[in-house]
Chains A and B, each alone.
Chain A
Amino acid sequence: MKRTLARIAWRGLWRHPQRTILMMAIVAFGSGLILLMWGLTDGFIETMISTQIDYDSGDFQVRATGYADDPLPKNGLPSESVAIVESTLAAEFPDTWTYAPRLDTSGMLKSAYGVLGVSVRGVNPIREPTVTVTVESVGEGRYLEAPGEIVLSRAAATDLDVRIGERVVLLSFTEGNSSSRAFTLVGILDSALTTMDSVVFVTLPDAQALTGWDGATSVAVSIPHGTSRDRAATRLEAALAAHVDATVETYFELNPMIRVMLSGSAVKLTPFVIMVALLAGFGVANTVFYSVLERTREFGMMTAVGMSTRQLARVVLYESIYVSAVGFAVGGGLGYWVLLYLSRVGMNFGALLGDIGATMGIPNVLYASTSGLYWIASFSVVVFTGLIAAWYPARRASRLEPVTAIREG
């Protein structure tokens, strides 16, 4: 009997194909929009965080207590502390945890054609590539190998009109004194992160010679994907507590501005999703309701020939389910296809974000996420709103008196 009712509902839908297609289009639009919104928002946030971690910060960093208040090399980790941090990481944590000491300072870079204010990052050329993917973004030349070499972003190389193999002079200031050193440009980076355009890479010994500080300003740590950053950072901080006056700071602690921005976007997204769901739901409810009103006479005839009011309500419900299912299949399918495309190609927001993107550390190209959870979430919203939308028309159909219905219709 259920099968017969389902068949009646399906045939009933296609007696008015325009109306049915309109209902399906509304559901398709709503479900596609929800899928896209979740996929794009989550994807953009994931891209932003992973880009920052992969290109710049690492999963977390060990820094001297108080360094953030006055980020000068002299407030960084002394060489003995760096050695303790490294030996603790090597001895007490899995081999999959990688780490690299860094010395960050500021300076001015000069070529024959210009001068540029830069952030100078002294790195260990062997260890740094185990923490970040900077080495993979070398678009021209090669990564650092020996002292006296420097790697710049393409933006900086263009500004200074300097080419691979040419000499540049880096000036650094410490405690009121300045120190100049010559470096040979060996590599140009095409980084996905515009904030890295102003960072120049030299070897750790060169940065130490420039600043006169024989330690580091941080030890960046990378952990395997799927490991909880917060728990890992807490564990490392506990292991270091007795030996070094240092703090372990995760990506979000290093970038409080990003944290505020993301928490705000998550809160703002929820009401928008509810609004879209209601829009789709009311669209379906409205159309189903009027289709029930229009077919009052038809429903009266059906009950007159023996269909129970319960069966009649079920036909209306089936119609609603068909509309939601087909609408979701079309909207969800299209939405997922678009997400899949954007997860591979990405969207370039460079022109739109401009300086704000650079300041916030947002990469120019953002990628969508294609988690199956979005399908489930979108389907749940569609089913829920579809059922709610069908409830009132079905209830009205179930209360029809055959004679009255035939006379009214």
Chain B
Amino acid sequence: MRRHRLLIAAGLLLCIGTLAFAQSEPLTADEVFDRTRQTWQADSFHATLSLDIVLSGQTKSHVLEVWTLGEDLSLIRVHEPEEDAGSGYLEADGKLYYYSPLVGSPIELPAVALSDALFGSGPSLDDLSHGTLSDDYETSVETLDASTDDDALYRMILIPHADAPVVYGKLEILVSADFVIQEVVYYDQRGNVLQTATFRDVVDIDGYRMPTTVEIADAGGDRTIEHILGPELNPDLDASFFTLETLVGGGDTE
């Protein structure tokens, strides 16, 4: 579930579609964050995610369908592997539920399942969506030499404050001129790279530019490759969709 939530976060980050700004003056870190934040605040999101998880040389593939509305409502339906097909997760009203056809009824997971995904793990969705990064991080931005639109133009450096509940020593985020995140590098407190998230295969969707492949690689060699298939930004969803009934009745989501 932890990995699923991380991927939802990655998926939301991918919603950063934006207008390209021709910059005449250097932007501050907060301004770059504001621009990126504004672009991915689509009210709702729907896509199918194909995941290849490589752990200790073994690859396991999953296919998930994800719906999100705002910051508090999300639904995940597992389609593959076959043994997990029909199961899913619902986050609503601050609670997290799991459903499996084998169990037959939804189970509320303990609060830790919801918290564990992000506690200490870097910028939270709340930080990203409300621009509260400066509460926990010392931020700075460096403008790079970008010869094409696909090159990174901004290198954001996030150093957690001493009392910030973040276990990383530093985060480095590369953002393109059109404010699409290209890479996030997580460092430990000794300056070693722990994990790198790379965003690529950018496509245009209704005026948005969006990467459709995310690869999260650990320093140890484990990695997760996520392909976003058929992404929809601002699909017609409302709160009544994110219910236990929808979680249990898989057919309604088709």
CB pair A180 B169 closer than 8 Å: no
CB pair A169 B120 closer than 8 Å: yes
Given contacts A112-B194, A182-B163, A184-B162, contact A176 B111 (CB under 8 A): yes
Indicate which residue in A112, A163, A176, A181 contacts B167 across the interface (CB closer than 8 Å): A112
B147 within 8 A of A: no
CB pair A178 B162 closer than 8 Å: no
A177 within 8 A of B: yes
A167 within 8 A of B: yes
Most B CB within 10 A of own CB, among A168, A182, A184 = A182
CB pair A169 B116 closer than 8 Å: no
Interface pairs A-B: 5 shortest CB-CB: A169-B120, A180-B165, A112-B188, A110-B120, A178-B115
CB pair A181 B165 closer than 8 Å: yes
CB pair A110 B112 closer than 8 Å: no
A323 to B91, CA, bound (A): 83
Q: Chain A residues near B121 (CB, 8 Å)?
A: 110
Most A CB within 10 A of own CB, among B120, B164, B166, B194 = B120
Q: Which of A156-200 contact B (CB under 8 A)?
A: 163, 166-169, 171, 173, 176-178, 180-182, 184
Q: Chain B residues near A184 (CB, 8 Å)?
A: 162
B132 within 8 A of A: no
**For chains A and B in complex, what number of residue pairs have CB atoms within 8 angstroms?**
63
Q: Chain B residues near A169 (CB, 8 Å)?
A: 119-120, 165-167
CB pair B167 A180 closer than 8 Å: no
Spell out B's residues near A (CB within 8 Å): 111-112, 115-116, 119-121, 160, 162-169, 186, 188-190, 194
A111 within 8 A of B: yes
CB pair B165 A112 closer than 8 Å: no
Which partner residue on chain A sits nearest B136 by CB separation? A182
A148 within 8 A of B: yes
A173 to B194, CA, bound (A): 28
Q: Chain B residues near A181 (CB, 8 Å)?
A: 163, 165
**New contact pairs (7) apart from A167-B162, A177-B111, CB-CB < 8 Å:** A108-B112, A110-B121, A112-B188, A115-B116, A171-B115, A171-B116, A182-B166
Which partner residue on chain A sits nearest B121 by CB separation? A110
16 contacts between A and B (CB under 8 A): A108-B112, A110-B119, A112-B188, A163-B190, A166-B189, A167-B160, A167-B164, A167-B167, A169-B119, A169-B165, A171-B112, A177-B111, A178-B115, A180-B115, A180-B120, A181-B163
A115 to B121, CA, bound (A): 11
CB pair B112 A112 closer than 8 Å: no
Given contacts A167-B162, A169-B120, A171-B120, contact A112 B111 (CB under 8 A): no
CB pair A168 B111 closer than 8 Å: no
Please give the distance in Å from B136's CB to the nearest CB on chain A: 9
A97 to B194, CA, bound (A): 50
Indicate which residue in A112, A171, A176, A178 contacts B189 across the interface (CB closer than 8 Å): A112
Q: Chain B residues near A163 (CB, 8 Å)?
A: 190
Q: Chain A residues near B160 (CB, 8 Å)?
A: 167, 182
Q: Chain A residues near B115 (CB, 8 Å)?
A: 171, 173, 178, 180
Q: Chain B residues near A110 (CB, 8 Å)?
A: 119-121, 167
Q: Chain B residues near A171 (CB, 8 Å)?
A: 112, 115-116, 119-120
Q: Chain B residues near A177 (CB, 8 Å)?
A: 111
